């Protein structure tokens, strides 16, 4: 008799994926994907809603022109550049040299108040410097293989000035499980979704890549923020290009955490 739940005996989507190898050599599994994508990243469908996302965050976080914004896991800089066009002073950091080069080139072409650094989100050294910290579309938080997230959250919190605000966009565990597809696996221990995706790079060149996305529940995000010394102000459902104040849903892929660092802000903020 087959044992129920034995992933070796099931076809289609399964539970119990081991996730990326624990060794240091696989900590940065997304870098080959970034190299393959290059400028083609900015032509992916999920990037088309960047302006709406930044407009919502600007209002939800009550940011005023001149505020300093840190974008962690900024990729080619799409959110950073949009914030800079709105009059904010932006610092974007990403582990991919290729993505940072693209962001720098775009900022220079438009003479925008944005600078970009190659930096690991697990090694943030900023302290009390920013009015807002954002990490959108997994950013530097959702691609860690179910480990180091506490370290990253502490770094995000530390970078905020007292009264500063955080916006963190992640993938929903409930959505991942509800719509688990054939060939995908979900690890209940780490919350990591594994899939093999065909990624189209420059010139239309396609190549298969393993993707490991860490998924969350609203309660986990609130607890993680609180442990880092932040005051969770809300967790909302999110879909690329449709940020808003909707309650978490089984029908939407993302979760958007808004949180505040205790202390006196530059002005009163409400969520």
Residue 13 resides in a domain: no
Q: Read off the pLDDT of each residue in 178-188 and give the average, rounded to a whole number.
A: 96
Phi and psi at 35, nearest 5°, equal: -65, -40
Band (pLDDT 50/70/90 cuts) for residue 14 is low
pTM of the predicted model over 0.85: yes
Contacts (Cβ under 8 Å, ≥6 apart) of 83: 54, 58, 69, 71, 90, 114, 134
Residue 161 CB neighbour total at 10 angstroms: 20
Q: What is the pLDDT of residue 20?
A: 53
Residue 77 resides in a domain: yes
Termini Cα distance of the chain: 55
CATH number, domain containing residue 51: 3.40.50.150
Residue found by looking up tokens 């209940």 in the block? 188
Residue 270 resides in a domain: no
- Look up residue 263 and give its two tokens: 């202390």
Instruction: Say if residue 19's pLDDT is above 90.
Output: no
Instruction: Say if residue 13's pLDDT is above 80.
Output: no
Residue 209 CB neighbour total at 10 angstroms: 15
- Look up residue 121 and give its two tokens: 């989100």
For 101, 135, 192, 214, the CA distances from 173, given in Å and listed in that order, are 33, 18, 9, 8
Residue found by looking up tokens 């993302």 in the block? 254
pLDDT tens digit string along 60-116?
Answer: 999 999 999 999 999 999 999 999 999 999 999 999 999 999 999 999 999 999 999
Residue 39 resides in a domain: yes
Instruction: Say if residues 144 and 216 touch (Cβ distance below 8 Å).
Output: no
- Owning domain of residue 108: 29-173+215-260
Residue 232 resides in a domain: yes
How many domains are there within the chain? Answer: 1
pLDDT tens digit string along 126-159?
Answer: 999 999 999 999 878 888 888 889 999 999 999 9
The fraction of the chain above a pLDDT of 90, given in percent, is 78
DSSP code, position 253: S
- DSSP 3-state assignment of 22? coil
Give one DSSP letter per residue of 166-201, joined into a string.
EEEEEEEHHHHHHT--TT-EEETTTTEEEEEEEEE-
Residue 49 resides in a domain: yes
Residue 191 resides in a domain: no
- In terms of Cβ atoms closer than 10 Å to its own Cβ (0-12, 13-18, 19+), residue 111 is exposed
Q: What is the pLDDT of residue 227?
A: 97
Instruction: Say if residues 77 and 92 touch (Cβ distance below 8 Å).
Output: yes
Q: Is the backbone of residue 204 left (phi > 0), alpha (psi -120 to 50) or beta?
A: left
Q: What is the pLDDT of residue 173?
A: 97
Report the sign of the C-alpha dihedral through residues 107, 109, 110, 111, in that order: positive
Residue 15 resides in a domain: no
Q: Read off the pLDDT of each residue in 200-227 and give the average, rounded to a whole number.
A: 95
């Amino acid at each position: 008799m087959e044992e129920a739940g034995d992933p070796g005996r099931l076809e289609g989507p399964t539970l119990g994926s081991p996730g990326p190898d624990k060794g240091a050599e696989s900590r940065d599994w997304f870098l080959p994907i970034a190299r393959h994508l290059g400028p083609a990243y900015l032509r992916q469908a999920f990037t088309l809603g960047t302006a709406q996302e930044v407009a919502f965050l600007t209002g939800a976080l009550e940011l005023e022109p001149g505020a300093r914004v840190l974008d962690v896991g900024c990729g080619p800089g799409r959110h950073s550049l949009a914030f800079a066009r709105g009059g904010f002073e932006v610092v974007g950091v990403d582990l991919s040299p290729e993505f940072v080069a693209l962001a720098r080139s775009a900022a220079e072409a438009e003479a925008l108040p944005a600078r970009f650094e190659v930096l690991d989100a697990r090694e943030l050294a900023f302290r009390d410097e920013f009015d807002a910290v954002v990490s959108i579309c997994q950013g530097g938080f959702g691609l860690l293989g179910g480990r180091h997230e506490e370290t990253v959250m502490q770094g995000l919190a530390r970078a905020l000035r007292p009264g500063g605000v955080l916006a963190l966009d992640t993938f929903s565990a409930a959505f991942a499980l509800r719509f688990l597809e054939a060939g995908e696996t979900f690890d209940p221990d780490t919350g990591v979704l594994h899939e093999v995706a065909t990624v189209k790079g420059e010139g239309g060149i396609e190549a298969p890549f393993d993707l490991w996305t860490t998924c969350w529940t609203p309660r986990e995000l609130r607890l993680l923020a609180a442990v880092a010394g932040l005051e969770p102000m809300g967790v909302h459902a999110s879909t690329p290009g449709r940020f808003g104040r909707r309650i978490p849903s089984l029908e939407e892929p993302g979760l958007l955490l808004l949180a505040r660092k205790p202390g006196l802000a530059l002005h009163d903020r409400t969520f």
